[in-house]
A and B are shown apart, each in its own frame.
Chain A
Amino acid sequence: MRTLSVAEGVAWRVLHNVFTNPSLLIPSLIFPLFFFTAFAGGLSRIDQVPGFDYPPGYTAFQFVFVLLQSAAFGGVFTGFGIARDFESGFGRRLLLSAPHRTGIVLGYVAAALVRWLLTAAVVTAVALLVGMQVGGGAVDLVGLYTLAVCLNLAATLWAAGIALRLRTMQAGPVMQMPVFLLLFFAPVYVPLALLQGWIHNVATYNPLTRVLEAGRGFLAGSPTEVGLAFAVTAALVVGFSMWALRGLRSAERAG
């Protein structure tokens, strides 16, 4: 119970900071829209490449990537906030005052999720407004958004683990770069089958490829690789939960 009250306090503070500070809120809303506009708008003719077969069209194809990317980067942005809290000394005071410190991590995770839900709503609304076709039914869409939620949790826990260990804003690239690489080494622009050369090999073994393909399958109404995708995201959440909690212990030891 006391863990939950700590989590609630931390989450409320983070969300209050984010929603009252445009410089924190706007980038997390604008960047996914940039990517969506640039990819779905500038590259729409890619759906005419021989072998490209995604019935809902290129806008929907890119929407899934941008949704998952926004989920992952929503987590990373929250990691920046954790690092800022510890750099400014607030994190240290938080450790002193929280009776159950696991609640601190839980609070940051909950805040990241709420923050991302707003981004997801905006990106989805924009995609529907520009005429995105949705082939999947309600259950498929629940599957797609559940995958994105899991990815958001995993990315937040990953970034929290880094932030709690390094406790400086300079850790930003360490949180961001691996997430960026994993996302872009997946089939971003064309389906896996159309990738050529080294990127095809990398994408084949990239766990996020399964998540992306499953997400696109859900949106098209023809689910594929669902079990594998959920197994991957569940493993990421469990693994990074331990990573974040060990990071918390590291922050405790540092005082």
Chain B
Amino acid sequence: MSKRFVEQVGQLARRSVVRTARQPANIVFPLVFPLLLLAVNSSGLQSATHLPGFPTDSYLAFALAVPFMQGALFATMNAGTDLARDIQTGFLNRLALTPMRGVALLAGQLGGVMAMTAVQAAVWIIAGLILGVHFAAGAGGIAVIFVFSLLIGLGFGALGAFLALRTGSGEAVQGMFPVFFVFLFISSMAMPRNLIEIKWFQTAATLNPVSYLIEGIRSLIVIGWDAEALALGFGTALLIAAIAVSLATFSLRTRLTRS
């Protein structure tokens, strides 16, 4: 990797972060909304911990994995919308006239998303600690959660970039938000899969990759070092990231050829 390429990525990542930082709504909403839902759900569903087989006596600990996914969704939508705006305003076309490599644009954009993801992950972890959540896997587990959330951020950020490059429209990217939300809702977000009573819902949650991402993080908070949950979680996150980055790279190439 040449020094010049690294510089290009660094510049674009910086641009992505600064652009997000200049719009407070893009920072505050992805941070405040998941925390609000966490507060409401963890208090409202605390009595669910009395169900036989529920893995913990703290619903807050159980639900703490969810903001990581919600934050990733918000960050993805924002990143996708920003990239779409670059296409709509002609920034991408102008960039194509410079010696900058196309892949640097994608890497820079994703670097910005991952920086935002890192900030969010730190906020969720600190919030959990302040609220008294005991991380069963200890300090090492917290570090793994942090790395895991970066990987999720990479995958979902690339998915947002792919949508932006494919459609070239911020509205189209925002229009995908409900679809992502379905994946989040029809998962083991609110209840362990083995305790979901409705059969079709349990099957859908089992087929839904988001369940494994949530369960990977949750296992480190609630259970400790669970090799199966971690392998499934990391495997799913890696697969999503690999597919999404490949799709985004291919779409970028097509988009630059067109422009």
Tell me the A residues contacting B by CB distance below 8 Å.
Answer: 23, 27, 30-31, 34-35, 37-38, 41-46, 48-52, 173, 181, 184-185, 187-190, 194-200
Contacts and interface: CB of A to CB of B under 8 A. Distances in A.
A196 B46 contact: yes
Q: Report whether over half of chain B's contact residues are helix, strand or loop; otherwise say mixed.
A: helix
Q: Report whether over half of chain A's contact residues are helix, strand or loop; otherwise say mixed.
A: helix
B11 interface: no
29 contacts: A23-B175, A31-B178, A34-B181, A37-B185, A38-B190, A41-B196, A41-B201, A42-B190, A42-B191, A42-B201, A43-B48, A44-B196, A44-B197, A44-B198, A45-B191, A45-B197, A46-B47, A49-B47, A52-B47, A173-B29, A184-B44, A187-B44, A189-B41, A189-B45, A194-B47, A195-B43, A196-B43, A196-B47, A199-B40
Contacts of A49: 47-48, 50-51
Interface in B198-219: 198, 200-201, 205
Interface of B: 25, 29, 36-37, 40-41, 43-48, 50-51, 175, 178, 181-182, 185-186, 189-191, 195-198, 200-201, 205
Contacts, number: 87
Nearest to A170: B25
Contact of B40 (A23, A185, A190, A196): A185
B39 to A, nearest CB: 8
Given A23-B175, A38-B189, A45-B48, 9 more contacts: A31-B178, A41-B200, A43-B48, A46-B45, A50-B50, A51-B47, A185-B40, A198-B43, A199-B40
Contact of A199 (B44, B178, B186, B196): B44
B195 A45 contact: yes
A130 to B, nearest CB: 9
